[in-house]
Amino acid sequence: MSANRNSDLVSRRAAKPHTSMFLRMLMRAAVLRRGRAASALVAMVVAAAVATAMLNLYVDVQAKLRKEFRNYGANIVVVGKHGQALPADAVDKVESAIAGQGRAVPFAYVVARTSDGQSVVVSGTNLDQVRNLNSWWSVTAWPNASLDALVGTRAAAVVSPQGKAFDLTFQGRNIHLKPAGTLRTGASEDSRVYLALKDFESWTGVQPSTIEIASSGSPEEVNALIQKLSQAAPTAEVRPIRQIMEGEARVLGKARATLAAAAILIVATAALCVLSTLIGWVFDRRRDFAIMKALGASEGLIGGFFAAEAAALGAVGAVLGFGIGVGVAAWIGRVNFHAPVVPRFNVLPVVFVGSIVVALVSAVLPIFLLRRVQPAMILRGE
Amino acid sequence: MFGRLVYESLRRQKRRKLLAGVAITLGVGVATAMISVATDIGDKISRELRAYGANLVVTPQEDTLDVQIGGVDLKPPSDGAYLNEADLPKIKGMFWRNNIVGFAPMLPVSVRLSHSDDTNSLTLLGTYFSKQLTFGKQDFVTGVRSTHPWWKVQGAWPNDNSSDVLLGESLAVKLGRKTGDEIEIAGQAHRVAGILSTGGAEDNQIIAPLALAQQILGKPDAVRRLYVSALTKPEDAFARRDPQTLRGAEYDRWYCSPYAASIAFQLQEAIPHSHAEQIRQVAQNEGIVLSRIKGLMLLVTLAALFASALAVSAAMATAIYERRTEVGLMKALGAGNVSVAALFFAEAFLLALIGGVVGFAGGALLARQIGRSIFDSQIAMEPVLFPVILAIAVIVTFAGSAMAIRRAIKFDPVYALRGEA
């Protein structure tokens, strides 16, 4: 039995002598010097984690910040040409063109008269959607009943100074409204009265003349959407709100450039950390190197041995580091943007290859330096 | 003897010291650059956010309601009250004058074009383009070019003292006029200096120097409203307090913080009979965007500090680990643990100081370069950063060396000298 097994072993070893010895040397090197190998691995993992977190953040931050920028409200506006109302199906057409990539809110406007004959702009809209679109509106209470109105602070002083119900007239037709809350924006909305589109249409018979759209895409996507909308509603004028688009592009560009600079610095520092640890680790093992050489190993084999070791270290470090880095990026996203940064797996190959390259460079560099030294000198401890 | 040991060690082991020194220098450099960028990013982004235009608006106190749809003013021009143009330069006398990036008065008047079959009246908007104003001894330039940066002109911006006008893009097409043509407004010929494109209601208007609009209206010094673009601090709970209810020190703190609300309050004080309000769309969101970007940079800076601390520690550990034989020799000659540790710490301290100073200088240069290439302006360096960075460098270097030093002195000198480490 035992002879049988022995011959088995011998024949197996004969079949793959080099591979088996090579693997054993690799394994033993890692196991016997756990401390040093572990510290090199830790450096590798941390560097890969930091690199992953920064790359992930850099890729994802644009989407995150763009969401914040959508708080500025609409970036596209659709209006009837020459001040006319939009066709009745315009809202549906716009909704289907956006296809969930943003919000569209219709607005209808008329100039009505108060009971003492003053002009006031009244707007009919979908109040629930406005609430989401224009988050900066400071509203005391949103209307939810029929014939409740949202009154701008300046308009309130004119139409219902005591907060009582009031009458408005448009082309001889009267409407009785109850002020549900007041609205403060600091702009022309303060002088207006807002009510639900249904109430507005049954009172005035006027259709929406403006659709405000907040599209959350990149500038290219927004431009494509404008093209699509122009085709979908040929009788309307579709235009970007330049103030919002340009401000966003500018701030986003600067923020991203700063983050990119930071990412480069951090990744470079992490790579340096790996480099110095690994060089120390390999340098420390010059005795192994010398023994191998003294026993007759070729330079190529020794180089291959150290390179394989470094590559294995780099691969393991990259995979572990990727996991940790994704976690760090998610945490940063949660803390800062209240939404986790989505793991980007297309970052993995970059981190993986980068780690292995850095590991290989830091392993091969000391070998290259030691190449010309006689093994006897190293073994003698000089 | 101790001094000589340290000195000789630095002099003779240049390669090893260089490796650790380079690591410290780079680590400190990255940390310095990141901290200075992170501390200054609020200011920088705040300035970039001014691309959204004015965040405050000043209107006459006794004004009637705006009758405005889609940016077109339907209010009869005779209606309502006006601000006095002569009061505007007083803005540069208020407490937060240096935070005022610019302001632009607006005076819409309706005009009819002579020799035009279009019977509809048009809006002519009087404003400052980049007007030279004086307050006390201070000269400054302000107008729509700083408060409305998204306005684009084909041709040239008119001079504020001329009677040249800008034509809105759509209006120019409708009238068939281009840059350099003449246009007759209210019986007088005016040169079209350029074509204006804003993507808003101004595309259908004539934009003219303020004095021309006042002359057409027949009210010298009249201004309908004033847009102010100011650098503000994000709003917090304290900013939302009503100044009327604040007392003494609290009131001073509120008044002396550049909140949009307190700048609006001061604008009201500076311009008689006025009402100043923050334009919430711009002012509120500015705070949100600013705090997000600042928060992001803070977290990223922490990551950078962590990475550079790690790099320094790793380099120091390697440098000390390589010197086990030396430790063995010292201990064999009778040196105590304390004196060996002291020697290593003294070396680490010197390295940290040198690396810290060089790294700080390099980091400052790096920060400057980042500021110049991304924001076109200098990153302000806080002088207090220098001692802080040096202290961090020393602490991190010590922390990184401590473990390695402990392991080095614990090692049996016999094994170390025999090379069986």
**B354-407 residue pLDDT tens:** 999 999 999 999 999 988 888 888 888 888 889 999 998 898 888 888 888 888
Confidence of residue A18 (pLDDT cuts 50, 70, 90): low
Residue B115 confidence (pLDDT): 60
Residue A208 CB coordination number (10 Å):
25
Bridge partner residues of B83 (DSSP)? B223
Share of chain B above pLDDT 70, in %: 96
Instruction: Report yes or no: A111 and A120 within 8 Å, Cβ to Cβ.
Output: yes
Query: Which pair of structure tokens corresponds to residue B396?
Result: 């991190």
Q: Please tell me which of the candidates A155, A186, A259 has its beta carbon nearest to residue B280.
A: A186
pLDDT at residue B170 greater than cutoff 80: yes
> B366–A265: do the CB atoms touch at under 8 Å?
yes
CA distance B375 to chain A (A): 7
Report the pLDDT averaged over residues B181-194.
87
Tell me: pLDDT of A63 over 50: yes
A170 DSSP β-pair partners: A173
Query: What's the burial of A350, exposed, middle or buried (CB within 10 Å: 0-12/13-18/19+)?
Result: middle
- Give the one of B66, B303, B374 whose C-beta lies nearest to A266's C-beta: B303
Q: Is the pLDDT of residue B303 over 90?
A: no
B65 — pLDDT class (breaks 50, 70, 90): confident
Q: Enumerate the residues of chain B whose CB falls inside 8 A of the CB of residue A185.
A: 279-281
What value does the mean pLDDT of chain B take? 86
What pLDDT is stored for residue A13 in this prediction? 54
Contact A187 B281 (CB under 8 A): yes
Distance CA A276, CA A270 (A): 10
Which residues of B are less than 8 Å from A270 in CB distance? 307, 310-311
Least confident of A120-134, A235-249, B302-316: B302-316
* Rounded CA separation A325/A91 (Å): 44
Flag whether pLDDT at B323 surpasses 50: yes
Choose the closest CB to A273 out of B75, B199, B314. Answer: B314
Exposure of B393 in the CB half-sphere (CA atoms within 13 A): 32
What is the mean pLDDT of the segment spanning B240-262?
Answer: 87
Q: Which two tokens stand for residue B83?
A: 């601000």
CA distance A12 to chain B (A): 35
* Whole-number pLDDT of residue B362: 93
Q: Name the pLDDT band for A4 (thresholds 50, 70, 90).
A: low
B-chain CB neighbours of A136 within 8 Å are 280-281, 284-285
Work out the angle at residue B294's Cα, subtended by the Cα atoms of residues A216 and A184, and round it to the nearest 5 degrees: 60
B:119-158 residues touching chain A, CB 8 A cutoff: 148-150
Q: What pLDDT shows up at residue B113?
A: 77
List pLDDT tens digits, range A194-237: 999 999 999 998 888 899 999 888 888 888 889 888 888 888 88
pLDDT band, very low/low/confident/very high, at A11 (cuts 50, 70, 90): low
Q: According to the model, what pLDDT value does residue A1 have?
A: 44
pLDDT at A200: 92
Q: What's residue A130's pLDDT?
A: 92
Cα gap A268→B350, rounded to integer Å? 25
How many Cα neighbours within 13 Å face the side chain of B209?
Answer: 19
pLDDT computed for residue B154 by the predictor: 92
Beta carbons of B310 and A268 less than 8 Å apart: no
Higher pLDDT, B33 or A367: B33
Instruction: Search chain A and give the residue with CA nearest B201.
Output: A241
CA distance B270 to B90: 6
Residue B11: pLDDT over 90: no
Structure tokens given for A24: 């054993």
Residue of B nearest to A153 (CA): B65
- Gyration radius from chain A CA atoms: 35
- Give burial (CB, 10 Å; 0-12/13-18/19+) of A123: buried
Is this structure's pTM higher than 0.90?
no
Mean pLDDT of all residues belonging to chain A = 84
CB contact under 8 A, B311 and A255: no
Residue B421 has pLDDT above 60, yes or no: no
- Alpha carbon distances (Å) from B138 to B42, B88, B92, B135, B342: 27, 14, 8, 5, 61
Q: What is the pLDDT of residues B68-107, one digit of tens each?
A: 787 777 776 666 789 999 999 999 888 888 889 999 999 9
Question: Tens digit of pLDDT for each residue in A265-299?
Answer: 888 888 888 888 888 777 777 777 788 888 888 87
Which of A273, A283, A335 lies at the smallest CB-CB distance from B310?
A273
Task: Say which amino acid occupies B332.
Answer: A
What whole-number percentage of chain A has pLDDT above 70? 93
pLDDT of residue A275: 83
Q: Which residue has the tokens 């190197």?
A: A289
The larger pLDDT score, comparing residue B299 to residue B16, is at B299
Query: What pLDDT was estimated at residue A176?
Result: 92
Cβ-count burial A257-295 (b if 16+ within 10 Å, e if not): ebbebbbebbbebbbbbbbbbbbbbbbbbbebbbebbee
Give ipTM to 2 decimals.
Answer: 0.81
Mapped onto helix, strand or coil, the DSSP state of residue B112 is: coil
Give the Å distances, CA to CA, from B406 to A247, B152, B337: 56, 67, 9
- H-state helical runs in chain A: 2-15, 17-32, 34-69, 90-98, 127-133, 153-159, 197-204, 219-232, 242-284, 286-294, 299-337, 347-370, 375-379
pLDDT computed for residue A100 by the predictor: 76
